[in-house]
Structure 1
Amino acid sequence: MNTRFLETLVVLSRLKSFRETAQVLHTTQAAASQRIAALEDELGVFLVDRSHRTLTLTPVGEQVVRQAERMLALERELKRATQPDAPPAGRVRIGVIETVVHTWLTPLIHGLTRRFPAVDPDITVEPARNLREQFRQHKLDLLIQNDPVEEAAGNVELEVTPLSRFPIRWIARPDVWRTQDMLTLEDLERIPVLTYVRTSSPHAHVRALFAGRETEPRICSFPSVQSIVQLVKEGFGVAAIPPIFVQREIEAGDLKLCEGPALPALVVTVTRPRESSPAVAAIGTIIRQVVGSYCKTAGPPWAIDLQAEAGSA
């Protein structure tokens, strides 16, 4: 029995789409459909219910999927047992938020290339909400983002590791906020506030400050940190972002940290299945090392290594 056909069935059961299954497996939609048809012929049963517009598996198909998952897991264990000293290899799909791109993603790629050259990282950069959905659909092997992963709570099959904490502060050009006084909510209602996309937790935290107030603040949402930085450098409003993105501008006096209403920090975590391939586990190891080194170099209050913090507690 061809394990590629079993893998196709398992992925199809999760995504409910031949098109998306083909994309995940890097094949064509026709090839994915042919694999399922060949598996049905071999088993002598229908695995996919083709009588509805929405793709579903037959009851027998559901049973086969459970057995297929066990067989694929045994295949992985067999390969590890017969090649215990083989270096990690293969493609690993990694979803990261833009905060990681502008902080420690480059050191991660360099470290991975040096330590595990046979591992091929496939990077997807999107807002956290989009990445979580892709992770749920098993389109990502590693999820690096800043919001809670709901299905991870109490789930022994998923491992969530806190990596780093980036404080979020109010940042403006000195001529936009000239005084040394603390920014009040009344001030922020008169100035455009720049922050992350509407679906992000930083945006929700900013909006929560104004709950119950009569005046609606002008909160400008952007998917790109670089867009926020560029606008605040040009004197447009006040940004609510981690100051590490503009550390040089702050130290040069082109931008300033403004005291104001406190905002929760942005906490970055990495989530992966506990039963992962050696390549996924290898990247997890490199991530922890790279984050520790990056936070040590940046130093507080710019970035805090949560692993070191937990170890000293």
Structure 2
Amino acid sequence: MDISDLKVLESVSRLGSMNRAAQELHTVQSNVTARIRSLEEELGVELFLRHARGVSTTAAAQRLLPFAGRIMSLLAEAQAAARDDGTPSGSLVLGGLETTTALRLSPILSHFAKTYPAVRLVIATGTTHKLLDDVLGYRLEGAFVAGPVDHPDLHRETVFREELVLVTPPAIRTPDDLAHVPDLKTIVFQIGCSYRQRLESLLAERGIVTARPLEFGSLDTIVSCVAAGVGVTLLPKGVVAKARREGRIAIHELPSKQAQVDTLFVRRADAYVSSAMSAFLDIARSDPGKFAASG
């Protein structure tokens, strides 16, 4: 078993298809199939279950995958460390909540790109749950997520603090009015979004019954649905400032305990911190208000 075998294993597992893995790895499907079969014979276990839709991992593969991620990450870190002379360069793969990316990161990313043009910066967006999983699985070097986070394998620090507001159609004068809305819907990101969990708790505390949530992957779509009267949501105040000024939505401020949420930057505690990562964090930490959108 060598590093190339582990790359094939990870790709097939993530994509659920020998053919798609072959395309990603720039080879032919027969090569991928042969590598997987050879690895199964070497280990003496079955790694994938074949079916009409592709493949799915067995319990043995699921036990092996974390080791594969660690080994590939260590090799990549060793190469990066050897080349890192203190000048930010190479690749930097980070993640962020869509709200954080829209409200906080856009100007920081622009400033960083101009200051360190030798760094190939990639930003992926997702829910807190997905981003934490990707950091732990070595797919992201770090990510901006909603707190609190408590995991023994993660280093975390507070970078931003947001004020969450209840976002409703303009016709809703106070949150209490929601109790009289029939078939009230929440407009949220997919499961794993911490704002979604906070919204559900907030409404439940007020005795407000909601219908099944409507899930969307786009911040703009969520705001547009609320503006159209489809339902309500919970978002950072700065994200919806423009829509509020335009009269498209109404916002309702909440008690501090419910409104305040820290945005944390998390990375694996055992990971190498490159010059590129250090430079990016220095910019993000320097003056959050300098880079934040006004709200």
TM-score, length-scaled by structure 2: 0.68
Residue 183 of structure 1, aligned match among 175, 196, 219: 175
The letter of the residue matching 1:209 is L
> 1:236 Cα deviation (Å)?
4.3
Residue 236 of structure 2, aligned match among 230, 235, 242: 242
| Residue 161 (structure 2) pairs with residue 165 (structure 1) | yes
| Residue 295 (structure 2) pairs with residue 270 (structure 1) | no
> Where does residue 152 of structure 2 map in the other structure?
154
**Matched ranges for 1:115-126 at <5 A:** 115-126=115-126
| Residue 191 (structure 2) pairs with residue 201 (structure 1) | no
**Matched ranges for 1:73-92 at <5 A:** 73=74, 76-77=77-78, 80=81, 83=83, 85=85, 87-92=87-92
Whether contact under 8 Å (1:195, 1:219) holds in the other structure is: no
The letter of the residue matching 2:260 is A
The DSSP-based 3-state class of the residue aligned with 2:263 is strand
**Matched ranges for 1:98-137 at <5 A:** 98-137=98-137
> 1:73 Cα deviation (Å)?
4.7
> Where does residue 283 of structure 2 map in the other structure?
289
- Listed as ranges, the gaps of 5+ residues in structure 1 are 303-313
Aligned-pair RMSD on alpha carbons? 4.4
Whether contact under 8 Å (1:93, 1:121) holds in the other structure is: yes
> 1:255 Cα deviation (Å)?
4.2
> Where does residue 52 of structure 2 map in the other structure?
none
- Measured in 1, the distance between the counterparts of 2:32 and 2:85 equals 33
Task: Please list the CA deviations of residues 262-288 of structure 1 after superposition, one character each: whole Å capped at 9, or x if unmatched.
Answer: 634343222212444565x52353145
Whether contact under 8 Å (1:164, 1:269) holds in the other structure is: yes
> 1:299 Cα deviation (Å)?
8.0
- Measured in 2, the distance between the counterparts of 1:18 and 1:177 equals 44
> Where does residue 306 of structure 1 map in the other structure?
none
Whether contact under 8 Å (1:96, 1:125) holds in the other structure is: yes
- Measured in 1, the distance between the counterparts of 2:80 and 2:207 equals 63
Whether contact under 8 Å (2:160, 2:288) holds in the other structure is: no
Task: Please list the CA deviations of residues 175-218 of structure 1 after superposition, one character each: whole Å capped at 9, or x if unmatched.
Answer: x034xxx532xx22223354433522222222223448876224
Whether contact under 8 Å (2:89, 2:116) holds in the other structure is: yes
CA spacing shift, 1:168–1:136, aligned 2, 3 Å: same
Whether contact under 8 Å (2:11, 2:21) holds in the other structure is: no
- Measured in 1, the distance between the counterparts of 2:114 and 2:129 equals 31
> 1:258 Cα deviation (Å)?
2.6
> Where does residue 93 of structure 2 map in the other structure?
93
- Measured in 1, the distance between the counterparts of 2:167 and 2:76 equals 53
The DSSP-based 3-state class of the residue aligned with 1:166 is strand
Q: State the number of aligned residues.
A: 274
- Measured in 1, the distance between the counterparts of 2:22 and 2:135 equals 12
Task: Please list the CA deviations of residues 130-168 of structure 1 after superposition, one character each: whole Å capped at 9, or x if unmatched.
Answer: 333333332222222225555xx333xx32122212111
> 1:98 Cα deviation (Å)?
0.8
**Matched ranges for 1:248-259 at <5 A:** 248-251=242-245, 255-259=249-253
Larger radius of gyration: 1
The DSSP-based 3-state class of the residue aligned with 1:108 is helix
The letter of the residue matching 1:166 is E
Whether contact under 8 Å (1:94, 1:122) holds in the other structure is: yes
The DSSP-based 3-state class of the residue aligned with 1:130 is helix
CA spacing shift, 1:24–1:259, aligned 2, 3 Å: farther
Whether contact under 8 Å (1:98, 1:126) holds in the other structure is: yes
